[in-house]
Amino acid sequence: MSEQGPQQVNRLQGPAPEDRPRPSGRRNSQGIRIDPEVEAEPVPRRTVISALVENEPGVLAKASGLVSRRQFNIESLTVGTTTNPETSRITLVIEEPEPGIRQVEKQLEKLLPVISVQELGENAIQRELVIVKVHGDEPDKVQAVTEMYDGTVLDAGPKTISIEITGDENKIDDAIDAFQQFGIRELARTGQTAIARGDVWTTDVEEERYERMHESWQTTTNND
Amino acid sequence: MSEQPPATFDREATDGAETAGSTPVTTGATSVIRALEGAGVETCFGVQGGAIMPVYDALYDSSIRHVTMAHEQGAAHAADAYGIVSGDPGVCLATSGPGATNLVTGLADASMDSDPVIALTGQVPTAFVGNDAFQETDTTGLTAPITKTNYFATDSDSVGDTVGEAFAVSGTGRPGPTVVDLPKDVTNGQTERQPGAPRTPSTYDPQTEADEAAVERAARTLERAEKPVILAGGGVIKGDASDALRDFATEYGIPVVTTMPALGAFPEDHELAMEMAGMHGTGYANMAITHCDVMLAVGCRFDDRLTGGVETFAPDAEILHADIDPAEVSKNIEADVALIGDAGTVLEQLDSEMDRTPDIPEWQEQCQTWKAEYPMDYAAPEDRPIRPEFVVEALDEATPEDAIVTTGVGQHQMWACQYWTYRHPRTWVSSHGLGTMGYGLPAAIGAKVAEPDKQVVCFEGDGSFLMTCQELAVAVRENLDITVAVLNNAAVGMVRQWQDAFFEGRHSASQYPWVPAFDKLAEAFGAQGFAVHEYDEVADTVEAALAYDGPSVIDFHIDPGANVYPMVPSGGDNGQFALSEDQL
Ligand SMILES: Cc1ncc(C[n+]2csc(CCOP(=O)(O)OP(=O)(O)O)c2C)c(N)n1
């Protein structure tokens, strides 16, 4: 127990802050040790993350809630079932510095219904769909622009024309710009969906799952 | 009064194994109880209510002991403390709506501290869900961000297995709370399905062993370190790795700093112990983490109360981060080497990979010098109001070294960290990540139920105690021998301290013009009450309170101006901790 002394209470001993040595290093705001030679803050990067998830109720709410409450900078989120009716693919487009991207992956992976998560590289196949509804005063010109963007007219009336365009994000942005001249009344965009290019599997468990499913199909067919 | 068979403190006698399945499964609710029994649950904490009544009805025939709490927040905290102390998930029950919302604070607390807790909540019948029925809330929606996972039970046949899964998920990997929401038609519904053994879903597979290449890199880094420290976090305790930690640190002579949740993970009377770091950590711990060149962090998440500003945290150190949760690695502090795995396993892997001991006599001496330079000391003149540190030390001295400490949140909690000597894991039970005032008393109840043969001491502030003091009724009803020490400064002291330091002493809503007589309050509940104003009453009163067989409350009227130091201001530099207010 402490000695009872005559000194003022609440005075701990030792050199004051300004009398103490300081280490020379530093970290940046993301907790990364800074190499004094190359002092660079990681810059945000736009990327696509694909998550294969169990198709259970609430899984989308869990994923989107996670992304919003952790303040990840999310550009779009889409979801749909896969070849296996028990699973869905969630595609997220995010813009985050490198540590943020890794966190999105790891936090998603922690959700119990999530089977596998993968960041897709630059060359992933990415597509988005937009429906634009423009004023129908100049149908010929609208038709020309639609053809330029490989679009499809879905509905044409005396007052409005609705067109569907599919493509990567830049193409969609450009198309919307081009339709601007007719006056866009409304539009609806789906957000990006994506899949790995070539014979690469989109997330790392998909090959094994595919083979397992394929086998069970074959056994059921053989039994019939 | 509880309608259960008389409570027994003999855990052997209440072993669920023999009685499990003694009555056949007839309803979803009996299946729920069979699942708990099958998971080895001996005790649960809760409050009755309409939507959970079928489960309580099934509990009536079970050997599982139920402790009826005064408030569901108390039930969640008691279950949380039970989980910390026993290592097995703690179970709490609540009805739908207000019962479930009252659990929320406790579940958030458990989530922040990775404590294993299972909450079973009643829900309105499935057909009413979504209609704003009487006592309906969206419990799974409310608890999604504060649980490891949660479940909405869909049918009477599978509900038992769902409870088993909730149990298995809660207690494995990085522990955490889980919720099973139980619509009344599901628990009332007929089934004869006996639940299987608790198991985790196939998508859940925590990695326990770290990657060999990473272990090798970590070992090489440690071997050539000149100023290494081990930063032990709560994961060391959760992973039962305290012995492995002690052996490792001792073998290689590496000083050990702990985070707050890790108090007791490494014996504080050990030569290598630098004790707790962070905002109110010891000066020497903060010097050690600031000046180290290699940090082996085990089972910690680099909370901002530990790191201060990340720019100045261990600025020269290479970080070797061992954790069972990959998402914690490089979340707040970038790791140079990631060791994903169970704390004990990783320490053993590292140990077998190490070829030599780091040559660090100067560093070891430097650490001892810091201990001498910045001792945790205070002056306690007799003619002053009682110093809180003195009270903490008096209780520490009067209790066995494996006594369990629980606390509320505030200055008293920090003094309990600083001036009690923790020597064993699972003897420190507090609210770290969420900082929940009122945690101490219900936690003491949960701790005592888990470890009836150990002395349990609860430190509370006057403000914190007032938030859950109604749980004294439970301590009396269950005759739990716990001692509550209220460090009464007639203020929400921690707030007042910050106002002194950062708001020019403007004490907005932090001073209590009047506080209840806590000794009399204790007596009204049927507990033993004491009040202490003078130094020379401290030792005798502590002795009398500890000797009293049942709950007792000591109202310590402490120095109302006492503040907690050292202190690293929020977001500050750990190496620049203030020793007094004028250094802030
Ligand atoms: C539920 C809750 N409400 C508010 C706070 C904010 N808060 C943190 S410490 C503190 C003061 C606690 O006062 P007291 O329990 O009397 O303890 P002391 O600091 O005086 O020891 C307050 C109000 C909190 N942590 N928890």
Q: For residue B35, is it within any domain?
A: yes
Tell me: do A48 and A108 sit in the same domain: yes
Count how many domains chain A has. Answer: 2
CA nearest to A10 within chain B: B378
Tell me: do A94 and A153 sit in the same domain: no
Distance in Å, CA B466 to ligand 1 centroid: 10
Contact residues, A window 85-104, toward B, CB-based 8 Å cutoff: 99, 102-103
Tell me: do A48 and A95 sit in the same domain: yes
How far is the C-alpha of B394 from the C-alpha of A224, rounded, in Å?
80
Query: Measured between CB atoms, does B575 come within 8 Å of chain A?
Result: yes
The ranges of chain A with pLDDT < 50 are: 1-10, 224
Q: Do B334 and A30 touch (CB under 8 A)?
A: yes
Tell me: do B396 and B455 sit in the same domain: yes
Q: Kindly report the CA angle at B200 between B198 and B203, in degrees rounded to 5?
A: 165
Tell me: do B368 and B396 sit in the same domain: no
Chain A residues within an 8 Å CB radius of B287 = 20
CA terminus-to-terminus distance, chain B? 53
Q: Are the CB atoms for B219 and B192 separated by under 8 Å? A: no
Query: Measured between CB atoms, does A205 come within 8 Å of chain B?
Result: no
- What are the φ/ψ torsions at residue B440 (nearest 5 degrees)? -60, -50
Q: Are the CB atoms for B515 and B490 separated by under 8 Å? A: yes
Select from B310, B339, B374 the last residue of a domain. B374
Which H or E run includes B509? none
Select from A66, A98, A120 the last residue of a domain. A120
Q: For residue A132, is it within any domain?
A: yes
Tokens of B359: 């040559």
Chain B residues within an 8 Å CB radius of A13 = 373-375, 377, 579
The reported pLDDT for the residue numbered A195 is 96
The reported pLDDT for the residue numbered A40 is 67
The ranges of chain B with pLDDT < 50 are: 1-21
Query: Measured between CB atoms, does B571 come within 8 Å of chain A?
Result: no
Read off the pLDDT of residues A117-170 as tens digits, 9 standing for 90 and up.
999 978 899 999 999 999 999 999 999 999 999 999 999 999 999 999 999 999
The reported pLDDT for the residue numbered A114 is 95
Q: Tell me, what amino acid is at B31?
A: S
Q: For residue B285, is it within any domain?
A: yes
Q: Which residue range is the domain that position A155 belongs to?
A: 125-195
Count how many domains chain B has. Answer: 3
Query: Measured between CB atoms, does A61 come within 8 Å of chain B?
Result: yes
Q: For residue A38, is it within any domain?
A: no
Q: For residue B518, is it within any domain?
A: yes
Of the listed B276, B354, B467, B494, which one is catalytic?
B494
Tell me: do B370 and B409 sit in the same domain: no
Select from A85, A120, A155 the last residue of a domain. A120
Q: Which residue range is the domain that position B338 belongs to?
A: 212-374
From the list A201, A203, A194, A196, the residue with the least C-alpha distance to A52 is A203
The reported pLDDT for the residue numbered A12 is 73
Tell me: do B469 and B360 sit in the same domain: no
Known catalytic residue: B454?
Answer: no
Q: Are the CB atoms for B381 and B291 separated by under 8 Å? A: no
Q: Is the bond preceding residue B566 a cis peptide, omega within 30 degrees? A: yes
Q: Do A23 and B316 touch (CB under 8 A)?
A: yes
Tokens of B411: 């200055």
Q: For residue B10, is it within any domain?
A: no
- The set of protein residues with a Cβ atom below 6 angstroms from ligand 1 is B 408-412, 435-437, 461-464, 487, 489, 491-495
Tell me: do A152 and A111 sit in the same domain: no
Q: For residue B7, is it within any domain?
A: no
Question: Atom 23 of ligand 1 has which residue's CA nearest to it?
Answer: B492
Q: For residue A14, is it within any domain?
A: no
The reported pLDDT for the residue numbered B260 is 98
How far is the C-alpha of B511 from the C-alpha of B526, rounded, in Å?
29
Q: For residue A219, is it within any domain?
A: no
Q: For residue B55, is it within any domain?
A: yes
Q: For residue B490, is it within any domain?
A: yes
Q: Give the helix, strand, coil percentages of chain B, each rounded to 5.
A: 40, 15, 40
CATH at residue A49: 3.30.70.260
Known catalytic residue: B148?
Answer: no
Tell me: do B323 and B396 sit in the same domain: no
- As a dihedral over the C-alpha atoms of residue A39, residue A18, residue B293, residue A30, rounded to 10 degrees, the angle is -40
Q: For residue A135, is it within any domain?
A: yes
Query: Measured between CB atoms, does A117 come within 8 Å of chain B?
Result: no
How far CA B486 is from CA of B413, B427, B445, B523, in Å, comes to 11, 19, 16, 15
The reported pLDDT for the residue numbered B5 is 37
How far is the C-alpha of B209 from the C-alpha of B381, rounded, in Å?
53
How far is the C-alpha of A34 from the C-alpha of B574, rounded, in Å?
18
CA nearest to A110 within chain B: B327
CATH at residue B80: 3.40.50.970
Of ligand 1's listed atoms, the one at least distance from the Cα of B466 is 15
* Beta carbon pairs, A and B, within 8 Å: 147
Distance in Å, CA B163 to ligand 1 centroid: 35
Of ligand 1's listed atoms, the one at least distance from the Cα of B489 is 20
From the list A51, A60, A53, A57, the residue with the least C-alpha distance to A104 is A51
Tell me: do B362 and B394 sit in the same domain: no
